[in-house]
Chain A
């Protein structure tokens, strides 16, 4: 099967403008876009830069924009998006600085994630005498948010991050919700205070791009709206 890739490239050392380079290769029908990129790098052009690791949608390294949609290259079959061998546009993630070719600088993304204490804050004063218990229902509801692999697809898909670069973004807010909703956590108040600001929660305009493009079936819009509800209930004194 013929796979035609149109890759958006940038060589920072040449200090030039980004440009599009086309590659045409013969790949097996089962080839994903990542397989095709690897084949290009091995057989055609060794200078093509991109990140990848697990090749099975677990590590989240190969997130990029394919035909304008942010997705994992390893989870996207070439034949499915270009059944007649049409050109496939491959670009680096949006809303992040480009290091080289398809490699985005994930710095801003992880900085915002870290800002919201993405871990369980223990109750130091009253440590539990036995294990924490969580209802089945709550654990099941939380599991979809736990499934986030931090690939930054949602961050790249969000048009609001494009407009306001300081907006925390869907991934960080989802992580904040995941811990705020966990009954074992005691950092809720502090975390909610940090997200309840203009460039936090309230910047989300429910465009649903994050939800529609997430490769792991996480629903960041739901998490953000639940956080909004938490903040409002707290301000009204209806919850802790």
Chain B
């Protein structure tokens, strides 16, 4: 009959708006981490041509190119959803927030799939 629960337990319903908010933050954190990695990789060029080329040859391989496609998808989502949020700050399109979120999502998936096809052509 009795079941103890965590004192801080707060169940929350995950709806479109909340999902959009969370995804925007998660993609933002991901992009920050990516940017730092990117700067480190580019930074190896100061050690000379060879070390830079060595590192880049690793990133030229298929698994990393697929990850690149994923990166483009995440950038696309973050950018389009960011535009959605800027519209909201001018009180435009609030009623269409769900449609606009799904539009951002579809654009992101489209960019991801498009990049995958481009990657396949590269290999």
Chain A residues close to B by CB (< 8 Å)? 8, 17-22, 65, 67-69, 89, 91, 94, 159, 162, 205-209, 211-213, 219, 221-222, 225-226, 228-229
Contact = CB atoms under 8 A, between A and B. Distances in A.
B44 interface: no
Interface residues of B, number: 24
Contacts of B54: none
Which secondary structure dominates where chain A touches chain B?
Answer: mixed
Interface of B: 1-5, 7, 9-13, 15-18, 20-21, 85, 88-91, 94, 97
Contacts of A67: 11, 13
A159 B91 contact: no
Given A21-B2, A225-B94, A91 B11 contact: yes
Nearest to A207: B21
Given A19-B3, A208-B16, A212-B17, A229 B90 contact: yes
A24 to B, nearest CB: 10
Contacts of B21: 159, 205-207
A22 B15 contact: no
Contact of A206 (B9, B12, B85): B85
Contact of B13 (A69, A225, A229): A69
Given A159-B18, A162-B10, A19 B94 contact: no
Contacts of B3: 19-20, 22
A222 B96 CA distance: 12
A159 B94 contact: no
24 contacts: A17-B4, A19-B2, A19-B3, A20-B2, A20-B3, A20-B4, A20-B5, A21-B1, A68-B12, A68-B13, A91-B11, A205-B21, A206-B21, A206-B89, A207-B21, A208-B18, A208-B97, A211-B94, A213-B13, A221-B97, A225-B91, A225-B94, A226-B91, A228-B91
